[in-house]
Structure 1
């Protein structure tokens, strides 16, 4: 038996998120199906980040155990032939038997993309949120600064989430303009359900002038989802970077 790690990229538009659902296609479900067919055994992957319905990823991480003799580094090539075109395994390798992507020290970076123009751009509609309203980036940056560090992010968590604690650590938030797109980049050690999308929605409210940047601190202190801005649509969100911190034991010595 060996444990294999996958680095997975996908366009989440057509899927009901990462996690297997009773009704609807998911990224996890497609991976389980394709790997089970390939390896001729029942495979159930464990994902590092359970992205929401419609959210995209360049580098989500998953592991699974197998008795198959195919070299771990060759699995990515073989399984991609069985996956739909909007899911690709970018890398596969053997890792230590006790490696678990959710139990290791790591940091993730999400990008939320906003397309700002007079009219929507059809070819960007699946990967950006469109607005014709001007956004003040300096105000958004000022508001974002209150979110950096360790805080109770209960105001930025969906009420449907079931978690032991709503305390999380944001390492950085940057906001920049790339042509007609505004990119909100959020790096942290862990995120709550809908957290980045609520952050994006709240910062857009600041950028529109709905409330001053310092109100973001009051939203944090309220610990009430109703105090924050709307949840930004999923289409603009992509997991762009996954980094392991302070260790390299994820790779097998075999």
Structure 2
């Protein structure tokens, strides 16, 4: 059976509002998360990813109320990340309607967090979010960053992904910090390297700007494509992306005209 590739809009949220910037900087308000999630659900999104991009920086919990209200209106899988520091945080997010939980900075600080979550809830709940930056200092040429892309580590991105999978991560959300918000296309080299090592699904993120950018990410090895700016601005719709991908030979769920 051919697995259908997923198209996932991403809601980067700060202070209860959806924001977007370039390379994670100069964030601007682009709308209400619940309203945008409803619109993308209606357009045929396969999932919604909800990332509280300032939760770790501000050292506060993810906005549970926004997650709850979104889950009440959107009936597709909802992945929530940002400020998740413990298995108890995961339990609370699942209780208010999240289906999967993304972890990043806290897992880098304490890798056993991945084991804790996977052991308690199963690998299918756990998404490792990697904010990756090119760096000649790393053996693979890529390092991971923390705190919404603000802090560069010395941790090799490929080695960290491999360790996280071994610890129980069920999916990799691979976001290129260098491409984020630039609309110049996904980092196909990074996607291919992650696909080569990964035994779990890979979501490509960062850089989508045109219809022609999505299918190559799948060809490079992604199981799903995630974007924000092109959807928030109304430049592209979920349906347009899916139909273009289908024309390019990618298997996607059908959407209404």
* TM-score normalised to structure 2 length: 0.24
Structure showing greater relative contact order (alpha-carbon pairs closer than 8 Å, 6 or more residues apart): 1
Larger Rg: 1
User: Which has a greater percent of helix?
Assistant: 2
* TM-score normalised to structure 1 length: 0.25
